[in-house]
Structure 1
Amino acid sequence: MFTGIIQSFGTMRPLGGDSWQITCSDSCSAIMEDLAYGDSVAVDGVCLTVEDVLKDGFIATASPETLRRTTLGEVLTNGRYVNLEASLRVGSKIGGHFVMGHVDGIGKLICVEQTATSWEMTFNAPSTIDRYIVPKGSIAINGISLTVADYSREISQFKVAVIPVTYAETNLRDLIPGSLVNLEGDILGKYVEKFVYFGKENNSVSQSAQNEITPSFLAENGYL
């Protein structure tokens, strides 16, 4: 589990087979301080397992399935930096939101506009994630915890406002319209969806209750 607060940049290099060497940038003390075999690191929002610790990075496996479902393969083609975050430690601050490192889909940057206080970035949302996007809710973009400023279901697009420090210290600054990004919806939304519709398959909840959450519905299902 992660929190969506990026700690360092990194680069990826293939080693043959499914193995990759991830080299951290100079500011990687938060990543490398106590990194050990078997630890999890989010690489552009993709949870990878450390198989060997190097002086300035680590080795991990990214299977063909992982490359197919995320942008890690595209990263190598373009040679851009990846965002890195070590897994959340018990007792650590949760600066963003709970991020699992399990990418729900690949989005695309539509446009970016610099304002006086932020960069407003608009992305498209594939069908695998758009149902978890709500205005003022959380979303992870390349592993970065961000707040949804606006969302249009009709055109499957959402907007985030990126503050200067986030823009400067993540690879959002490298994106141009058309760039692909890893998207992960808020895990809380996924569990709410599961709980609300759990009776749909066995008909234990009426169709009207499925379509509307009411106090009586919550009481009947143990929420009150």
Structure 2
Amino acid sequence: MFTGIVSGAYPITRTVIQDGLLTFAIDLPAELMDGVEVGASIAIDGVCLTVTRFTTSTVEFDVMQQTLNVTSLANLKVGDMVNVERSHRAGMEIGGHIVSGHVDGTAEVVSVEQPTNNYVITMQMPETWMKYVFPKGFLALNGVSLTVADIDKKNRTITVYLIPETLRRTTFGSKKSGDRINFEVDRQTQVIVDTIVDFLGNLAQHKQLSGDEIQKIQNQLLLPKE
């Protein structure tokens, strides 16, 4: 389990590409190496990965094809910076929100704006996942717990605002249009939405409500307001 409060951004130092498998290594500072062991879970750009090998200053991971298909990790190369978060420990503060590290997919950056004292990123989401995203709701983006500021349901875009501390600790300051961002929707929100949809579907199946009535209720409850 993670909280979406990343410790920092650190460089990829080695990659090995094999058929259906990517192995890569990251250099980490001493404070993040404390307690690392084979089998430990660490979030890399929001993806929960298992430590397979380590030294006093380096951790190594193996990434299978399924994860490469769903996330942005397939594009990693030596020198790239990635967001890193160690797994949450009992008793520690949850500064963001509960994040599993099981990434749902990638969103594409469509614009980066820098008005005075602000940093604004807008990205396009896959249509099937938009129903789980709401204004003021949580979303993990490259492992960072962020609040959704605006939603454009017609264009399937979401907008987030980043404070200077987030830019300092993460890789968001280097993002540009066309880049892919790993996202994970809030699981509690997903459960609520799916439960409502299933419940309404059962009502329709038993003809307690018409299809038009079901659609109207879904639109009122689940679609972001303009």
TM range (shorter): 0.7 to 0.9
**Using the alignment, how far apart are the partners of 1:188 and 1:204 within structure 2?**
27
**Using the alignment, how far apart are the partners of 1:198 and 1:130 within structure 2?**
17
Displacement of 1:114: 1.2
Please list the CA deviations of residues 76-119 of structure 1 after superposition, one character each: whole Å capped at 9, or x if unmatched.
2x842111101111111111111111111111111111123320
Equivalent pair of 2:134/2:148 in contact (CA under 8 Å): yes
Residues 14-29 of structure 1 aligned to structure 2 (within 5 Å) = 14-15=15-16, 17=18, 18=21, 20-25=23-28, 28-29=29-30
Equivalent pair of 1:19/1:59 in contact (CA under 8 Å): no
Q: For 1:102, give the aligned amino acid.
A: H
Equivalent pair of 1:7/1:30 in contact (CA under 8 Å): no
Per the alignment, do residues 210 and 156 of structure 1 end up closer, same or farther by CA in structure 2, a change over 3 Å counting? closer
Equivalent pair of 1:45/1:140 in contact (CA under 8 Å): yes
Q: Which residue of 2 aligns with 1:81?
A: 81
Identity of aligned residues (%): 32
Q: For 2:26, give the aligned amino acid.
A: T
**Using the alignment, how far apart are the partners of 1:164 and 1:150 within structure 2?**
19
Please list the CA deviations of residues 186-219 of structure 1 after superposition, one character each: whole Å capped at 9, or x if unmatched.
1111111232234435957954679649xxxxxx
Give the number of aligned pairs.
210
Please list the CA deviations of residues 11-66 of structure 1 after superposition, one character each: whole Å capped at 9, or x if unmatched.
332245435232134xx344211112211111101110112222212122101121
Q: Which residue of 2 aligns with 1:62?
A: 63
TM-score, normalised to structure 2, is: 0.83
Q: For 1:86, give the aligned amino acid.
A: R
Equivalent pair of 1:8/1:31 in contact (CA under 8 Å): no
Q: Which residue of 1 aligns with 2:134?
A: 134
Equivalent pair of 1:97/1:145 in contact (CA under 8 Å): yes
Q: For 1:23, give the aligned amino acid.
A: I
- The 3-state SS of whatever aligns with 1:195 is helix
Displacement of 1:159: 0.6
Displacement of 1:166: 0.4
- The 3-state SS of whatever aligns with 2:96 is coil
Q: Which residue of 1 aligns with 2:48?
A: 47
1:161 aligns with 2:164: no
Q: For 2:25, give the aligned amino acid.
A: I
Q: Give the unaligned 5+ runs of structure 2.
A: 219-226
Please list the CA deviations of residues 125-173 of structure 1 after superposition, one character each: whole Å capped at 9, or x if unmatched.
1124211111111111111111101001110001100001101210001
Q: Give the unaligned 5+ runs of structure 1.
A: 214-224
Q: For 1:58, give the aligned amino acid.
A: V
Q: Which residue of 2 aligns with 1:143?
A: 143
- The 3-state SS of whatever aligns with 1:194 is helix
TM-score, normalised to structure 1, is: 0.84
Q: Out of 46-55 and 197-206, give the one that drifted further.
A: 197-206
Equivalent pair of 2:22/2:74 in contact (CA under 8 Å): no
Cα root mean square deviation, aligned: 2.3
- The 3-state SS of whatever aligns with 1:129 is helix
